[in-house]
Amino acid sequence: MSQPDSAENPTARGEALLAGGRPDEAVAAFTAALALRPKDSAAWRGLGKAQLDLGDQNAAKISFARALAIVPYDRYAAHMLASLSGPADVQATGYVADLFDTYADDFDAHLTGDLNYRIPQAIRALLAERAPFASLLDLGCGTGLVGAALSDLVATIHGIDIAPRMTRKAHERGLYRHLRTGDLLDSIANDPALVGPYDLVTAADVFVYLGPLEAIFAATATLLVPQGLLVFSVETTAGDAPVLRSSGRFAHPAAYIARLADQFGFTLDVTQSRPIRQERDQPIPGALYLLTRN
Ligand SMILES: C[S@@+](CC[C@H](N)C(=O)[O-])C[C@H]1O[C@@H](n2cnc3c(N)ncnc32)[C@H](O)[C@@H]1O
């Protein structure tokens, strides 16, 4: 039997409106879908996304909770609910690890090809004139694109990633001396091979999965030597606190990064506005930061 198209299926119409950047109309479509089928979990998910795109976090939280109550193994809904429920452990749902495990085989080709991801090269351009470095800890190393971009600038490279298939890919490059599969904070706290000290820490397109960054800034400050560098990218937004997007990723305002730098003993040396990559054929606005530990 063929699927009903979006003209006769309000959930499909809501998805199309969301993808087209029309969240207010998407809310109406999902609401109509739920009036017909109150247990349509896809409509609750869609409604949550549209509400989030409109900035209504409280309503979105209720919608994701409804989706999760209907489909308890929905990891996206669990991730969104956890992320909207405060600074609890957003990794506990397993959503991020699953997402990247599924993606690992296609990651390099898709990200650097279709999605035009160039953050590792931009990090290299920032660091080349400051090289050489004795030791790098690559946070959320993924398949090792940052290690590959910096391998001739750094003597020893260590990496951490939560997705086992991503660290396996990084291992295959033969560039990382120690690779740890696990959550960043947990690995830094518990792996004696990762205590440093490092003169460089990178996090390329990783803080988008963490939300609040206080804990990782505090941990990084203890790993770096004085004058050591922390380089990372974020998706940008206005305001002064991290914001969860319907993509499942967080955006971080410049004012928030400046406050963290101050709070955790860093000097903010470089802020570079640049797109992170493409999404739905549009560039995602972002920034690359270089901070020096005082
Ligand atoms: C978009 S990829 C970027 C990978 C790599 N840094 C690069 O530039 O190619 C984000 C990576 O961060 C990892 N990640 C996200 N949250 C994490 C966490 N809490 N602990 C460890 N790794 C995490 C993901 O598994 C994924 O491999």
Percent of the chain with pLDDT over 70: 96
* Interatomic CA distance for residues 270 and 292, integer angstroms: 9
Lowest mean pLDDT among 54-68, 75-89, 139-153, 279-293: 75-89
Reported confidence tier of residue 92, pLDDT bands at 50, 70, 90: confident
Ligand 1 centroid from CA 140, angstroms: 4
Q: What Å distances lie between residue 57 and 19, 63, 77, CA to CA?
A: 19, 10, 14
Q: Is the pLDDT of residue 20 over 80?
A: yes
* Interatomic CA distance for residues 192 and 164, integer angstroms: 19
pLDDT digits (tens, 9 = 90+) for 106-143: 999 999 998 999 999 999 999 999 999 999 999 999 99
Which of 108, 126, 206 is the best mutation target for the ligand 1 pocket, counting ligand atoms within 8 Å of the beta carbon and taking the most?
A: 206
Name the β-bridge partners of 247.
none
* Interatomic CA distance for residues 77 and 100, integer angstroms: 17
Q: In this predicted structure, what is the pLDDT of residue 3?
A: 47
Report the Cα–Cα distance between both ends of the chain, in Å, rounded: 65
* Average confidence (pLDDT) over 254-263: 98
Q: Which helix (H) or strand (E) holds 246?
A: none
Ligand 1 centroid from CA 101, angstroms: 11
Residue 101 has a CB neighbour count (10 Å cut-off) of: 16
pLDDT digits (tens, 9 = 90+) for 175-233: 999 999 999 999 999 999 999 999 999 999 999 999 999 999 999 999 999 999 999 99
Reported confidence tier of residue 6, pLDDT bands at 50, 70, 90: low
* Interatomic CA distance for residues 42 and 77, integer angstroms: 10
The tokens describing 22, both together, are: 């029309």
Percent of the chain with pLDDT over 90: 92
Name the β-bridge partners of 243.
251
Cα dihedral 88→94→95→100 (10° resolution)? 130
89 CA to centre of own chain: 14
Q: Is the pLDDT of residue 27 over 50?
A: yes
Q: Whose CA is nearest to atom 18 of ligand 1?
A: 183
* Interatomic CA distance for residues 269 and 250, integer angstroms: 23
* Average confidence (pLDDT) over 49-76: 96
Q: In this predicted structure, what is the pLDDT of residue 122?
A: 98
Q: Is the pLDDT of residue 38 over 50?
A: yes
100 lines ligand 1 (CB under 6 A): yes
Q: Is the pLDDT of residue 283 over 70?
A: yes
Ligand 1 centroid from CA 113, angstroms: 18
In the chain, the domains with their CATH numbers are: 10-85 (1.25.40.10), 107-293 (3.40.50.150)
* Interatomic CA distance for residues 185 and 237, integer angstroms: 25
